[in-house]
Amino acid sequence: MTLAERLSNIFFNAFGLEKEKFSPALAPEDVANWDSIGHMNMVMDLEKEFDLRFEVDEIMEMSSPQKILDILKARGVPDRSSG
Protein backbone atom coordinates (compact mmCIF):
# COMPACT_ATOMS: atom_id res chain seq x y z
CA MET A 1 0.00 0.00 0.00
CA THR A 2 1.34 3.46 -0.87
CA LEU A 3 1.71 6.24 1.67
CA ALA A 4 -1.21 8.07 0.08
CA GLU A 5 -3.41 4.96 0.41
CA ARG A 6 -2.41 4.52 4.04
CA LEU A 7 -3.12 8.20 4.68
CA SER A 8 -6.49 7.89 2.94
CA ASN A 9 -7.35 5.09 5.37
CA ILE A 10 -6.40 7.31 8.30
CA PHE A 11 -8.61 10.12 6.98
CA PHE A 12 -11.46 7.63 6.62
CA ASN A 13 -10.98 6.39 10.20
CA ALA A 14 -10.36 9.80 11.79
CA PHE A 15 -12.89 11.90 9.87
CA GLY A 16 -15.17 9.47 8.06
CA LEU A 17 -13.92 10.88 4.76
CA GLU A 18 -14.96 8.67 1.86
CA LYS A 19 -11.86 7.33 0.14
CA GLU A 20 -12.92 8.59 -3.29
CA LYS A 21 -13.02 12.14 -1.86
CA PHE A 22 -9.44 11.93 -0.55
CA SER A 23 -6.96 14.22 -2.26
CA PRO A 24 -3.50 15.46 -1.26
CA ALA A 25 -4.83 19.01 -1.77
CA LEU A 26 -7.54 18.81 0.92
CA ALA A 27 -7.56 21.49 3.60
CA PRO A 28 -9.14 21.31 7.07
CA GLU A 29 -12.12 23.35 5.88
CA ASP A 30 -12.79 20.68 3.23
CA VAL A 31 -13.09 17.86 5.78
CA ALA A 32 -15.90 17.56 8.32
CA ASN A 33 -14.56 17.16 11.87
CA TRP A 34 -11.04 18.35 10.99
CA ASP A 35 -10.98 20.67 13.97
CA SER A 36 -8.41 20.78 16.78
CA ILE A 37 -9.67 17.58 18.41
CA GLY A 38 -9.99 15.79 15.08
CA HIS A 39 -6.48 16.95 14.18
CA MET A 40 -5.01 15.45 17.35
CA ASN A 41 -6.94 12.20 16.82
CA MET A 42 -5.52 12.07 13.28
CA VAL A 43 -2.00 12.68 14.64
CA MET A 44 -2.42 9.83 17.12
CA ASP A 45 -3.59 7.56 14.28
CA LEU A 46 -0.57 8.62 12.19
CA GLU A 47 1.82 7.95 15.07
CA LYS A 48 0.32 4.50 15.61
CA GLU A 49 0.23 3.59 11.89
CA PHE A 50 3.80 4.73 11.18
CA ASP A 51 5.34 4.04 14.62
CA LEU A 52 6.51 7.66 14.97
CA ARG A 53 6.30 10.50 17.46
CA PHE A 54 5.84 13.88 15.82
CA GLU A 55 7.35 17.13 17.03
CA VAL A 56 5.01 20.04 17.79
CA ASP A 57 6.20 21.95 14.71
CA GLU A 58 5.44 18.93 12.50
CA ILE A 59 1.95 18.63 13.99
CA MET A 60 1.32 22.32 13.32
CA GLU A 61 2.46 21.92 9.69
CA MET A 62 -0.07 19.15 9.01
CA SER A 63 -2.52 21.38 7.16
CA SER A 64 -3.09 19.10 4.16
CA PRO A 65 -2.54 15.48 3.23
CA GLN A 66 0.30 16.58 0.92
CA LYS A 67 2.11 18.26 3.82
CA ILE A 68 1.58 15.14 5.93
CA LEU A 69 3.04 13.00 3.12
CA ASP A 70 6.03 15.37 2.90
CA ILE A 71 6.61 15.08 6.66
CA LEU A 72 6.38 11.28 6.52
CA LYS A 73 8.84 11.12 3.62
CA ALA A 74 11.21 13.50 5.42
CA ARG A 75 11.04 11.13 8.40
CA GLY A 76 12.15 8.27 6.13
CA VAL A 77 8.83 6.43 5.82
CA PRO A 78 9.03 4.42 2.58
CA ASP A 79 6.35 4.89 -0.09
CA ARG A 80 5.59 1.33 -1.13
CA SER A 81 3.52 0.81 -4.20
CA SER A 82 0.94 -1.91 -4.29
CA GLY A 83 2.27 -4.66 -6.42
Cα 5 from Cα 76, distance rounded (Å): 17
19 pLDDT more than 60? yes
For the whole model, what pTM was predicted?
Answer: 0.92
Domain map (residue ranges) of the chain: 3-74
What is the Cα–Cα distance from 25 to 16, expressed in whole angstroms? Answer: 17
Band (pLDDT 50/70/90 cuts) for residue 81 is: low
59 in Cβ contact with 37 (< 8 Å): no
User: In the CATH hierarchy, which fold is given to the domain comprising 3-74?
Assistant: 1.10.1200
Rounded to 10°, the helix 65-74/3-15 angle is 130
- Yes or no: say if 23 and 64 are a contact pair by the CB < 8 Å rule: no
Integer Cα distance of 2 and 79 in angstroms: 5
